[in-house]
Amino acid sequence: SWTMLNIVEDAVAAVRDQIGDGRAICALSGGVDSAVAAAIVQRAIGDRLTCVFVDHGLLRKGEAEQVERDFVDATGVKLRVVDASERFLKALSGVTDPEEKRKIIGREFIRVFEDEQRAILADGPVDFLVQGTLYPDVVESGGGTGTANIKSHHNVGGLPDDLRFELVEPLRTLFKDEVRRAGEQLGLPSAMVWRQPFPGPGLGIRIIGEVTRERLDVLRDADAIAREELSRAGLDRDIWQCPVVLLADVRSVGVQGDGRTYGHPVVLRPVTSEDAMTADWSRVPYDVLSRISTRITNEVREINRVVLDVTSKPPGTIEWE
């Protein structure tokens, strides 16, 4: 629409004013906010923006490709991809405590991103860091800007002196729905534009127990089936998000064909919410649940049981960890 066009064009012009002929960097997460922010800055300064995508190996099926291929095709963004999955798995090895997982993932992310920043700085000075901060984030944090900080959920304290940047926050005045419309206006992949909330620590906090590559693969397969069936049923806009959780340390007896199985359960956690502060479990139609359950147990060998979480928030949180 006309107003949306203006929002994008105004944002591009403001970024051009702020950055001048400087250079900027931006970390992409796979989510809509960083993607739209980067696309706006790319329009403003082109190749003087370098994006970094740290693939921690904890994303869902297809999401890394969405960033590396579809987003780049749609925007022409200059992107550095770091496949850091080995490093994250190593750091997470033997860890089962949810808060410890979060800390480790946040810390490793910062380390990898800092290494990339230094590599980019070797090509010349960079003064700006792009962040996808939205208006509600600004209000929540009291409105201050301050020095560069990767999103607070990464639990960063201070940053080294050589990695201090002026922040560029092109989405600072926008709400989520405006960001999505800007994303469409900018021609971003619709799976990115309409992605439901997904936690920074990714599937790392959806495996109850130790995170391993095998378990991640199992969860990715189950999650992809649940997402596909919920979409096919037209429920994407009704459901706030639907974590699929692998109870990796639990086994139960089942039967499949002629054989006894001893596999793992997954939990479906579809919730309805306005802002994630409170939530209710979604009344997903039985036939949709049935298709998800049948497909997961048929198609994912390690899983022999699918259970539904019918807890509101509070007392349950949306995520299991």
131 binds ligand XMP (CB under 6 A): no
For ligand XMP, the closer of residues 48 and 227 by Cβ is 227
Do residues 244 and 216 make contact, with C-beta atoms less than 8 angstroms apart?
no
Does position 31 bind ligand XMP by CB under 6 A?
A: no
Q: Among 132, 199, 263, 265, which residue sits at the site for ligand XMP (rule: CB under 6 A)?
A: 199
Interface with ligand XMP (CB under 6 A), residue from 30, 57, 170, 200 = 200
Structure tokens at 24: 């900027």
Q: Given the rule CB under 6 A, which of 192-200, 212-220, 252-260, 283-291 is the region that contacts ligand XMP?
A: 192-200
Rule CB under 6 A: is residue 313 a binding residue for ligand XMP? yes
Q: What is the rounded distance in angstroms from the CA atom of residue 1 to the CA atom of residue 50? A: 29
**Which of 128, 198 has the CB closer to ligand XMP?**
198
* Cβ partners under 8 Å of residue 80, min gap 6: 50, 51, 52, 53, 116, 119, 120
31 annotated ligand-binding residue: yes
Of 201, 204, 265, 270, the one binding ligand XMP by CB under 6 A: 201
Q: Are strands 49-55 and 166-168 parallel, antiparallel or unpaired?
A: unpaired
Q: Does 114 bind ligand XMP (CB under 6 A)?
A: no
**Contact in structure between 303 and 222 (CB atoms under 8 Å):** yes
Candidate segments 7-15, 107-115, 167-175, 195-203, binder of ligand XMP by CB under 6 A: 195-203
Least Å from the CB of residue 16 to ligand XMP: 30
**Residue 240 DSSP label:** S
Cβ atoms within 10 Å of 291's Cβ, excluding its own:
18
Residue from 60, 101, 102, 264 binding ligand XMP (CB under 6 A)? 102
Going by C-alpha positions, the residue among 119, 155, 147 that lies closest to residue 131 is 147
From the list 5, 4, 26, 6, the residue with the least C-alpha distance to 168 is 26
From 276, 288, 307, 308, residue interacting with ligand XMP (rule: CB under 6 A): 276
Which tokens is 273 given? 């919410």
Give, for 287, the enclosing helix (H) or strand (E): helix 286-299
- The yes or no reply on residue 153 touching ligand XMP (CB under 6 A) is yes
Q: Using CB under 6 A as the criterion, which residues of the chain lie in contact with ligand XMP when the complex forms?
A: 102, 153, 197, 199-201, 241, 276, 313, 317-319
